[in-house]
Amino acid sequence: MKDWMKIIPAEELKAYEKGGFMGAADIGERTALVVVDVTYGFCGSEGKTLEEAIAEFGPACGPVSWETMPRIAALIHLFRELGRPVVYTRSHPEDTIYAGKATKSKRVTNIVPPRFNDFPESIEPHEGEWVLEKTKASAFFQTPLASYLVKKQIDTVVVCGVSTSGCVRASVVDAFSNGFNTFVVDDCCFDRSNFAHCANLFDMNAKYATVLSLDELESKMLGPQMDARPGA
């Protein structure tokens, strides 16, 4: 059993399964990766405690960000190797005067700290990869993301990033609502609350997406190719 499922009471899990939830989908042939908000503003600088990271950037998630970062980098590399689109999102706090904030939190957003919207070096976008700036939690809300994916003939959207309970979840629900086969990579997502991380992975897996680990996703996407890879 996955770690994030262990917080779910057994009787509730059984009820979901009996109700037809928790099914897994087959991954499509035309996949795209959406990397949600993995910037310093939502991570904090490497080496800081959670409290220190929050003092630096209010929305930061601290150490869990950097524990997850190598797996996110590996996931991005996988999509690049396969020649599949990678889309990055980040918040656009400068637009709050027009669009309001992405959440109801009372943190200051009218002054953008230096590096808030910068991506860590290990996952920086390559030339030609789209960086989509958004004003709300979902990467799809009043953005051209759905149109972009349709133009690319994408049938499956894979989502990773931060926070599992916030912008990741909102983007996953909207990906599903827009008709895309939707996958979440559990060990490539993170949240400042482990409880919220686990509960939202459970709920997304039950209703809107198939939740897989990086290894499970790689196996599905590469299939027989994995046996032929160097070192396999």
Determine the Cα–Cα distance for residues 132 and 87; give it in Å rounded to an integer. 7
Contact indicator for 72, 35 with CB cutoff of 8 Å? yes
Q: What pTM value is reported for the model?
A: 0.89
pLDDT of residue 1: 83
Provide the pLDDT confidence category of residue 134 given band limits of 50, 70 and 90. very high
The structural domains of the chain, ordered by start, are: 36-222 (3.40.50.850)
The residue ranking higher by pLDDT, 229 or 191, is 191
pLDDT of residue 50: 96
Residue 136 predicted with pLDDT over 70: yes
pLDDT of residue 161: 98
pLDDT of residue 24: 87
What end-to-end distance do the CA atoms of the chain give, in Å? 26
Q: Annotated catalytic residue: which of 43, 160, 167, 188?
A: 167
* For residues 146-154, average pLDDT: 97
* For residues 64-69, average pLDDT: 98
Cα 164 → chain centroid: 7
pLDDT of residue 228: 42
Task: Tell how strand 181-190 and strand 156-162 pair up.
Answer: parallel
13-20 contact pairs (CB < 8 A, 24+)? 16/206
* Average pLDDT taken over every residue of the chain: 89
Determine the Cα–Cα distance for residues 40 and 123; give it in Å rounded to an integer. 11
Which DSSP helix (H) or strand (E) runs through 188?
Answer: strand 181-190
Provide the pLDDT confidence category of residue 26 given band limits of 50, 70 and 90. confident
pLDDT of residue 132: 96
Structure confidence by residue, pLDDT tens digits, 38-55:
999 999 999 999 999 999
Provide the pLDDT confidence category of residue 98 given band limits of 50, 70 and 90. very low
Residue 94 predicted with pLDDT over 80: no
Amino acid at 113: P
Determine the Cα–Cα distance for residues 209 and 202; give it in Å rounded to an integer. 10
* For residues 191-202, average pLDDT: 96
Determine the Cα–Cα distance for residues 158 and 54; give it in Å rounded to an integer. 28
* Among 30, 25, 35, 37, CA closest to 151: 30
Determine the Cα–Cα distance for residues 226 and 218; give it in Å rounded to an integer. 8
Residue 15 predicted with pLDDT over 80: yes
pLDDT of residue 224: 53
* Among 98, 103, 99, 64, CA closest to 193: 64
Rg (CA), the chain: 17
Q: How far is CA 209 from CA 14, 15, 154, 197, in A?
A: 19, 18, 16, 15
The residue ranking higher by pLDDT, 38 or 6, is 38
The residue ranking higher by pLDDT, 154 or 106, is 154
Determine the Cα–Cα distance for residues 56 and 40; give it in Å rounded to an integer. 10
Name the percent of the chain lying above pLDDT 70: 88
pLDDT of residue 114: 82
Name the percent of the chain lying above pLDDT 90: 75
Residue 188 designated active-site: no
Which DSSP helix (H) or strand (E) runs through 221?
Answer: helix 214-222
